[in-house]
Amino acid sequence: MENSYRFFGAPDQARYGDHRHPELPWGYWLTSTGEIPGEPPLVDEDGREWDSVREAFWVGRLGLPMTYGAGVNEILEFMLSYLAIKDSRFVAPEESARDIFVGDGHLGSFFGAFMRAAGLMEDRTGRPTAEGRAVLLMLIATRTRDDADEEIGLDWIAATRSLARAKERRATSDLVVQRERIASRMAHRFATDEIAGDPVVKLIGLRITREVPVRSTLWSMSWPDRDQYGRDRFYLWLLERIDRWDAWSEMVTEDGSRALTEHLMKLAFCDRFARDDGTEYGGGRDE
């Protein structure tokens, strides 16, 4: 069933399949007029010139402002993952709100309405229209080298819930790998996990028994709202303080898990008032 809305940047009641091949990527009709075949400018059927297929879609098709750049590319990458999720399997509304929009149902409703009004999603089924699938193919085909290294779907959405670009995220990942090598040799270390679908950070300690030394969980913190981004940010915060892990483990052993929870809360609160030079108001880094 076709949508009843007037699509952004499209003729009234236009059906994509009437004049476009529904199995080809959106924008296949654009003509390259650059000195090198395939290079911009790309010319559409109205004679308008574009620097890229994505720009033609963003400005020419959706009718959005001429502010195309890195920020818009991130939005289109999100749209790519959104379309891929909706196209590959049925996603219940509550799952979409929780996993795609981090529990923000209002944002989920707005984005869904936007996609339907744009003619990219079906009214009743919530699945991509013929044009929506063509846009999905186009967005996959036009990813940058940095973006192409990352998976499409919920994993991409979870990984990009910050202002960091792909290169910065890879640099952070390399740092995590280096520090986790060090942590693997420590008697007490923090680690990420998942329990019943909820992201978890736990402190693992070495316990000496009569038979053999075993590792056990001394302390843990979970994110019941499945906020993997929040969990990962906290884990990075802990990795930056790997030199304090033994002392924190001793704190749990002597004073209990609640003592460590309160201590970490105080440290995180102090970090919010850190000076630009890295020192903290009212004292040093960590006690």
What average pLDDT does the segment 192-196 reach? 86
Q: For position 4, what pLDDT does the model report?
A: 41
Q: For position 28, what pLDDT does the model report?
A: 93
User: How sure is the predictor about 65, in pLDDT bands with cuts at 50, 70 and 90?
Assistant: confident
Q: For position 102, what pLDDT does the model report?
A: 61
Q: Which amino acid makes up residue 245? A: W
- Verdict on whether the full-model pTM lies above 0.75: no
What average pLDDT does the segment 237-253 reach? 85
What average pLDDT does the segment 139-153 reach? 74
User: Which two three-digit tokens encode residue 125?
Assistant: 């089924």
Domain ranges of the chain: 16-159, 166-271
CA dist., res. 193 & res. 133, Å (int): 35
pLDDT of 184 strictly over 80: no
Q: What is the mean pLDDT of the chain?
A: 75
Q: For position 73, what pLDDT does the model report?
A: 85
Q: Which amino acid makes up residue 16? A: Y
236-264 burial, b if ≥16 CB within 10 A, otherwise e?
Answer: eebbeeeebbeebbebbeeeebeebeebb
106-121 burial, b if ≥16 CB within 10 A, otherwise e?
Answer: eebeebbeebbebbbb
Order of strands, edge to edge, in the sheet holding 49-50?
31-32, 42-43, 49-50
Q: For position 50, what pLDDT does the model report?
A: 93
